[in-house]
Amino acid sequence: MSALCTIKHLCQATRSENKYTKRFFGILLTQTAQKWLFSPFWIVVPNLRKSAVFGLTQPFCTDEKSHAQPKRKAAFGSVGRRIPYRILHLINQEGESLGNMHRAEALKLMDQHGLKLVLLRDNVEPPVYRLMTGQQIHEEQLKRAEKKKSSPKPGVVQKELSFSSAIAKNDLETKTKQIAQWIEKKHHVKVTIRQAKGSSTDMFTLFDHILETVSEKATYLSKPKVAREGVSTCVLRHMSDKELKEHQKMEIKKNSAVKEDENEDLKSKELHQ
């Protein structure tokens, strides 16, 4: 009798264990796998009465992909002796092509002439390098900085005006009013002046005259410079709040100094009368 009771309890325990096992893996299978990679291994759970139950093992890694940082463009300058490319195209300090050569040969030429090696383009095959003096590198860096400075920033509108140095006075006033309107809207204004044949007007004097007309709110973003023979350019921008305050302070001091001089002149005249 006791043996029958023991067998009965064992059967009940087995049924309960199978029921809990199937419930556990049933829940596991119904769960959605978000951002998980499933293991390729399967667990087979035996069922004494029915067919086998299959379940996925616990995932062990996530599906988060590493985002590579975009490659930053290297600053213009000497690369020293670090050349990752075996073959390169070399340009000498005069801007003449020396053709393709091994990097060891390029370093040899650099040492022989006491020059520096500068990477110009690495998106071509083979990459282009140039031999330059320290002065050439410095001048090129200044040019690039000036170009970057004068380029309009994202979201900033740049207007352009172009006229001859022989422009009539009325036309110049009209152009200046247009510049003032654009400056008021906080646009950048690129002014280009062409030297007219037979004209003795200095282009840089015209630039200063234009700035003086709008000096209450504008200043140079890029100072006047010669773009090419017979053509000069500059870029004007609206002053920042800090610059406006400083400008107003300077104007107040300037006006005060003028008034003091006028008062001194009046006093001196009264004394002489």
- The CATH number for 202's domain is 3.30.110.10
How far apart are alpha carbons 138 and 151 in whole angstroms?
A: 20
Instruction: Please check whether residues 50 and 122 belong to one and the same domain.
Output: no
113 and 169 share one domain: no
- pLDDT higher than 50, residue 62: no
Which of 104, 119, 148 is a domain's end point?
Answer: 148
Statement to judge: residues 144 and 99 lie in one domain: yes
pLDDT in the model for residue 68: 47
Are 163 and 232 contained in the same domain? Answer: yes
The arithmetic mean of pLDDT across residues 93-104, rounded, is: 92
Give which of 26, 25, 2, 44 is closest to 10, Cα–Cα: 2
Distance (Å, rounded) from C-alpha 176 to C-alpha 214?
Answer: 8
User: Is residue 64 assigned to a domain?
Assistant: no
Structural domains in the chain (count)? 3
Using alpha carbons, select from 137, 103, 105 the residue that is nearest to residue 120: 137
Beta strand 158-164 with 188-194: parallel, antiparallel or unpaired? parallel
What percent of the chain lies above the pLDDT cut of 90? 33
Whether residue 143 is predicted with pLDDT greater than 90 in this model: the reply is no
Helix 169-184 and helix 203-213, axial crossing angle in degrees, nearest 10: 50
Q: Is residue 259 included in any domain, yes or no? A: no
pLDDT of residue 110: 92
Domain of residue 43: give its range. Answer: 9-29+38-58
Q: How much is the mean pLDDT over the chain?
A: 76
pTM of the model: 0.44
pLDDT of residue 51: 46
Q: Picking from 10-24, 105-119, 139-153, 198-212, which range would have the lowest pLDDT averaged per residue?
A: 10-24
CA–CA distance, 227 with 190 (Å, rounded to integer):
12
**In the predicted model, is pLDDT for residue 66 greater than 80?**
no
Please report whether residue 98 resides in a domain: yes
Question: What is the predicted pLDDT for the residue at 108?
Answer: 93
Query: Which one has a higher pLDDT value, 102 or 256?
Result: 102
13 and 48 in a common domain? yes
CB 21 within 8 A of CB 43: no
Same domain, 176 and 136: no
22 alpha carbon, distance to own chain's centre? 59
Same domain, 155 and 224: yes
- Going by pLDDT thresholds of 50, 70 and 90, the confidence category of residue 255 is confident
**How far apart (Å, rounded) are the C-alpha atoms in residues 234 and 204?**
10
176 and 114 in one domain? no
pLDDT of residue 35: 40
Domain boundary among 104, 133, 148: 148
Higher pLDDT, 47 or 101: 101
Q: Residue 261 falls within a domain, yes or no? A: no
Report yes or no on 245 lying in a domain.
no
Do the domain assignments include residue 205? yes
Same structural domain for residues 140 and 155? no
Residues 188 and 129 in one domain: no
Examine residue 120 and state whether it is found in any structural domain, yes or no. yes
pLDDT classification of 85: cutoffs 50, 70, 90: very high
217 closest CA partner among 193, 173, 182 = 182
Q: For residues 117, 121, 127 and 128, what is the CA-based torsion angle, rounded to 10 degrees?
A: -50
Whether 111 has a pLDDT exceeding 90, the answer reads yes
Helix intervals (H) in the chain: 2-30, 103-113, 134-150, 169-184, 203-213, 241-272
The top-scoring range by mean pLDDT among 11-15, 28-32, 218-222 is: 218-222
Last residue of a domain, one of 148, 173, 194: 148
pLDDT in tens, 170-222: 999 999 999 999 999 989 999 999 999 888 888 899 999 999 988 888 899 88
Which residue has 């170009």 as its token pair? 147
Hunting for tokens 């299978």 — which residue is that?
29
pLDDT at 109 over 90: yes
**167 inside domain:** yes
Report whether 101 contacts 91 (CB < 8 A): no
CATH number at residue 132: 3.10.20.80
Say yes or no: 222 and 159 in one domain. yes
Same domain for 139 and 186?
no
Q: Nearest 5°: phi and psi at 108?
A: -65, -45
